[in-house]
Structure 1
Amino acid sequence: MRYRALRRPALPLLCLFCLPALAAPLPVRVQQGQLVAASTEPGSTVKIGEREARVDADGRYVFGIERDAPASVAVTIRHRNGKTEQHTLQVVQREYKIERVDGLPPHTVTPDPEMARRIAEEQARVAKARERDDDRNDYLAGFRRPAEGRISGVYGSQRIDNGVPKAPHYGLDIAVPTGTPVKAPADGVVSFAAPDLILTGGTVLIDHGHGLTSSFLHLSRIDVKVGDRVGQGQVFAAAGATGRASGPHVHWGFNWFDVRLDPALLPERSGATAKSSAAAKK
């Protein structure tokens, strides 16, 4: 692959993301591309700007901060008794690098009108899958990387593909050989699976509940179908270089509905959680 590994500062995960019981306060500071989790009184309504977040039976909720979010984000919480709380979260502004990627299939970088039409239709199908809003808390156990390898592409960087400026890169790329097993980063349900999309090749989405989805692109093999339940660490596909890719890798994207987030900022599964889960399976 011809990606240049990049490093960028990040706030400590411990203060950015918690998986609380009840009445866990919102953080004061967040950063662009971050998934935020908090809790409030059950039965409350939570809005981020004008957008409402799902609140579960225990009062837990999540939402995402856009890549280019402004310096502050307003959160409104309305309790069952009618009391309203107003919060203003300060958003740390990140600096994004430029990544130049060469050797991509030309038709995926500058498609003709028919190809562009097909790409739009395919992306619309993916976007539809991301509208799912299940009342499942599969995200609570934290996340594991889907594969181990060199980080060859990072979230938010401006892409120059075959010399043509394109949209930012929304995901984490892990350089691995074709055929490398790809594992589910958390429990979930497969909400989309297609072997041959023009831009993303073999593509799988795993829904973790509350509008959270992991997406995996450029896969060489897919072992699951829509509706399948997968467990954290389960192999569901193999890495490849299908679609618009210059070499084999795992592309892991993460969304809160249509808000694209940084997988590198997701909370890792704790050792205590892992031990507890392993014991429960015995």
Structure 2
Amino acid sequence: MGPAQANESNGNLAPELQGEFVQGAMIVGRSRESATVYLNNERLKVGSDGYFVFGIGRDDENDIHLKVALPSGETWQESYSIQSREFNIQRVDGLPQRTVTPDPEVQQLIRADNVKIAEARNINSDRLDFSEAFVWPAEGRISGVYGSQRILNGNPSAPHWGLDIAAPTGTPVYAPAGGEVRLTAPDMVLSGGTIIIDHGHNIFSSFLHLHAIHVEEGQVVQLGDLIGEIGATGRATGPHLDWRMNWGAVRVDPALLLPER
């Protein structure tokens, strides 16, 4: 991640910021441990050594306002504009309706899966794994990108939230950063074999369509640990890893955290 640029109004209080202010970005900050940090007037969690983090949504356009306040009453604040991105939009017409809208029974199963996913992410832990550099979780070809979207029979589908890495079934999947495993599920309707890892401060990674899972819920993993194998489980047209990241309910782009390869 590259450093964000700021017009520092009070340089001695300005936090260190890593990341670009673009749609889909994750911004990691570091201030004084005693500081209170606000994002658009909402208080952020500040961890040990002053680390904090927040995400920028795919469609966010409004300026971001950051404020740092110390117990002494000193403050620093700055606004940042968000750089827009162009996402690939495809229109597909003439599809049978059943391929656009799942059957009611399937919808019920999907809702049950979504409850489990929401419960796994319903935690704001003190972990600071998000502050470390992320690495690629698997070898393979990039076959899908964050933010792309299809319009099916005139109805916009949900954007694709992940980074897809296509590779043969059984290709190892490694933890791109440390964290605690919050969910393992072998057969979710849409995502198939699924793992969710908590990197701290509401930052989560999800790994979808796995052929095999090699971790357990509650297990702490380190960067580079083997966690699973690429597969084509759930709704998948071929073997690939769909890696998604969240800051709470905000979907961020994993590709923006990775080194070029």
Q: TM-score scaled by structure 2?
A: 0.86
Q: 2:253 is matched with which residue?
A: 262
1:132/1:201 CA distance change after superposition, 3 Å: same
**CA distance in structure 1 between the partners assigned to 2:26 and 2:120 by the alignment:** 19
Q: 1:69 is matched with which residue?
A: 60
1:125/1:109 CA distance change after superposition, 3 Å: farther
Q: Is contact 1:159–1:168 with CA below 8 Å preserved after alignment? A: yes
Cα deviation per residue 1:57-101 (whole Å; 9 max; x = unaligned)?
Answer: 211111111111114112232222233333211100111112579
Q: Is contact 1:241–1:247 with CA below 8 Å preserved after alignment? A: yes
Cα deviation per residue 1:138-182 (whole Å; 9 max; x = unaligned)?
Answer: 123311111111110000111357997410010100011111111
Matched, 1:47 2:47: no
Q: 2:3 is matched with which residue?
A: 15
**What are the residue-to-residue correspondences of 1:102-117 with 2, within 5 Å?**
109-117=100-108
SS in 2 for 1:31: coil
1:236/1:123 CA distance change after superposition, 3 Å: same
Aligned residue identity for 1:226: E
Per-residue deviation at 1:51?
3.4
Aligned residue identity for 1:155: Y
Matched, 1:149 2:137: no
Q: Is contact 1:29–1:89 with CA below 8 Å preserved after alignment? A: no
Structure 2: which 5+ runs fail to align?
6-12
Q: Is contact 2:136–2:258 with CA below 8 Å preserved after alignment? A: no
Is the deviation greater in 193-202 or in 164-173? 164-173
1:42/1:252 CA distance change after superposition, 3 Å: same
Q: 2:23 is matched with which residue?
A: 32
Cα deviation per residue 1:97-152 (whole Å; 9 max; x = unaligned)?
Answer: 12579xxxx97752112221221221122122222211111123311111111110
Q: 1:172 is matched with which residue?
A: 163
Aligned residue identity for 2:206: S
What is the number of equivalent residue pairs in this alignment? 249
From 51, 70, 75, the equivalent of 1:84 is 75
Task: Report the RMSD for the aligned CA atoms in angstroms.
Answer: 2.6
Q: Is contact 2:45–2:52 with CA below 8 Å preserved after alignment? A: yes
Q: Is contact 1:108–1:244 with CA below 8 Å preserved after alignment? A: no
SS in 2 for 1:125: helix
1:49/1:212 CA distance change after superposition, 3 Å: same
Identity %: 47
From 127, 143, 149, the equivalent of 1:158 is 149
**CA distance in structure 2 between the partners assigned to 1:127 and 1:50 by the alignment:** 25
Cα deviation per residue 1:223-261 (whole Å; 9 max; x = unaligned)?
Answer: 111101111111111111111111110111111111110
